Amino acid sequence: MWRLHHFALCPFSRKLRLLMSEKGVPFTLEEENPFAMREEFFLINPTGRTPALTHEDKDITLADSRAIAEYFDETVEKNPMINGTAAGRAEIRRLVALFDENFWGDVTAPLLSERYAKRVVARAAPDSRALRDAMRLADQHLDYIDYLVDHRRWLAGATMSLADLTAAAQISVADYLGGIDWRGHESARGWYSVFKSRPSFQPLLADRVDGVAPPRHYSDVNA
Amino acid sequence: MWRLHHFALCPFSRKLRLLMSEKGVPFTLEEENPFAMREEFFLINPTGRTPALTHEDKDITLADSRAIAEYFDETVEKNPMINGTAAGRAEIRRLVALFDENFWGDVTAPLLSERYAKRVVARAAPDSRALRDAMRLADQHLDYIDYLVDHRRWLAGATMSLADLTAAAQISVADYLGGIDWRGHESARGWYSVFKSRPSFQPLLADRVDGVAPPRHYSDVNA
């Protein structure tokens, strides 16, 4: 059985939980708080970042959420998530990078820093300007998702792909941390609410971390 | 013909120049300084980042260096760069991510900010502590490359892969900006000097940007 070393509010871990669940790959979860910088975890992943994946029977260690996603798309046939023509696959991967790098850097990382790491780990006050900037940038990213959903059935094209899982994973963490204002983003909200009702999403919505409670609408599948 | 929208000191652009050259894909270069944040470029790539790729005959625009690398590895047979078993390919992609994200964030990005953007674009003084930190972290990354090269023929295994191109591209920019101290890293230096003598590398070593000159050893293929 695969063992996913994850952190409940790590969007890259969440992407893999969604992917493995959608593809029907069984796995157990092992909680690893990357803010704790546990020495033993650096032996599993030299970058110290979640997620990493080990296997109880095989001598294999995988790290980096995109590398792991490609691995499962290559080895497990069910529900291909990087599918289509070469150009279509490039579009999926472009959007995966956009959410993993830009949404993460603009929105999820500052929210995690201000509303989790500072409050819970360092017991310091959040920087309200950094929070305002993150929420303003979240709004611009939601505009882009509105645009994509208005032109395509799913974010990267006609079928659900790793782009959708990646975006939903980032947004779910930002939403938990109170950084998402859905007003004026009906298209994005409609796309996201389809996700929230999928079986793969329910364990994510049930997760809680000590010290930070999500807003009321967070786990409401009708919100 | 492909047109690569690139910046001479962008390591992600350099990775693709190496890749397309190694795979024998003809392309022209179009200089795009991402620090200028030119509006027209955001129409090509909504993130405003280099590299992006367009084609004079086909209606196709590609963005994100990893998505583009996968595209060429899927469509051009010569010199496969993401090759081997699924686990081997995962190891290549793990290292690509490590250099694109960790080496970039720890070393290349702060060097570019302090020694190019501040000096040339903003005409401000560099932060000497940020420079010292970047060079200290570069040293740790070179330790890891020493370790890899001592255990494998190339960074990810028995053959040259996208991991080697990615690491060499990042290091070449850091080296241009005076951020690499090769002393004590004979294994990494040996691996890198093999790269420097490849035909694909010569255009990179010949590039210069206004306002910042590289150290003398930078383009010396015997150094």
CATH of the domain at A166: 1.20.1050.10
Predicted confidence (pLDDT) at residue B223 exceeds the cutoff of 80: no
Among B75, B94, B120, the domain boundary falls at B75
Strand partners, A29: A4
Say if residues A92 and A98 touch (Cβ distance below 8 Å): no
Q: Which range is least confidently modeled, A71-85, A115-129, B99-113, B131-145? A: A115-129
Nearest CA in chain A to B106: A47
Distance CA B176, CA B174 (A): 5
With contacts defined as CB-CB under 8 Å, which chain A residues touch B64? Answer: 93-94, 97-98
Report helix, strand or coil for B190.
helix
Domain boundary residue, one of A19, A52, A75: A75
B215 part of a folded domain = no
Same domain, A23 and A116: no
Q: Between A60, A70, A101, which is nearest B93 by CB?
A: A70
Structurally, how many domains does chain A consist of?
Answer: 2
CB contact under 8 A, A64 and B98: yes
Do A26 and A52 sit in the same domain of this protein? yes
Contacts of A96 in chain B (CB under 8 A): 67
Q: Does residue A120 register a pLDDT over 90?
A: no
Element (H, E) at B65: helix B65-75
- In this structure, are B114 and B20 located in the same domain? no
Q: State whether B66 and A144 contact (CB < 8 Å).
A: no
Cβ proximity of B171 and B214 under 8 Å: no
Task: Report the candidate in B133, B221, B128, B142 with the shortest Cα–Cα distance to residue B181.
Answer: B142
pLDDT at B124 exceeding the cut of 90: no
Q: Per-residue pLDDT averaged across B144-158, rounded?
A: 97
Average pLDDT over residues B43-72: 96
- What is the mean predicted confidence (pLDDT) over A8-33? 98
**Three-class SS of A12-78:** HHHHHHHHHHHCCCCEEEEECCHHHCCHHHHHHCCCCCCCEEEECCCCCEEECHHHHHHHHHHHCCC
Contact B144 A66 (CB under 8 A): no
Same domain, B19 and B53: yes
Residue type, A127: D
Cα(B148)–Cα(B154) distance, rounded to whole angstroms?
8
For the stretch B69-112, pLDDT in tens is 999 999 999 999 999 999 999 999 999 999 999 999 999 999 99
B51 and B15 share one domain: yes
Residues A173 and A199 in one domain: yes
* pLDDT, mean of residues A13-34: 97
Low-confidence winner among A55-64, A120-129, B170-179 (lowest mean pLDDT) = A120-129
B121 band by pLDDT with thresholds 50, 70 and 90: confident
Question: Which residues of A have a CB under 8 Å from any CB of B?
Answer: 46-47, 60, 62-64, 66-68, 70-71, 74-75, 86-87, 89-94, 96-98, 101-102, 144
Q: Do A93 and B47 touch (CB under 8 A)?
A: no
pLDDT the model gives residue B70: 98
Residues A67-95 pLDDT 10s = 999 999 999 999 999 999 999 999 999 99
- Which domain-ending residue is among B26, B46, B75? B75
Q: Can you give the residue range of the structural domain that contains B140?
A: 86-206
Asked whether the predicted pLDDT for residue A99 surpasses 80, the reply is yes
Q: Assess whether A142 and A114 both reside in one domain.
A: yes
CATH number at A21 reads 3.40.30.10
- The arithmetic mean of pLDDT across residues B198-215, rounded, is 95
E strands within B10-143? Answer: 27-31, 52-55, 61-63
Residue from B208, B200, B175, B176 nearest B189 by CA: B175
pLDDT tens-digit map of B154-173: 999 999 999 999 999 999 99
| Number of neighbours of residue B61 by Cβ within 10 angstroms | 17
A46·B144 Cβ contact <8 A: yes
Question: Residue B58 has what DSSP assignment?
Answer: S
pLDDT of residue A45: 96
* Residue B177: half-sphere exposure toward Cβ, Cα within 13 Å: 31
Is A16 in the same domain as A50?
A: yes
Nearest chain B Cα distance for residue A97, angstroms: 7
pLDDT at position A141: 98
- Examine residue B219 and state whether it is found in any structural domain, yes or no: no
Q: Are residues B64 and B120 in the same domain?
A: no
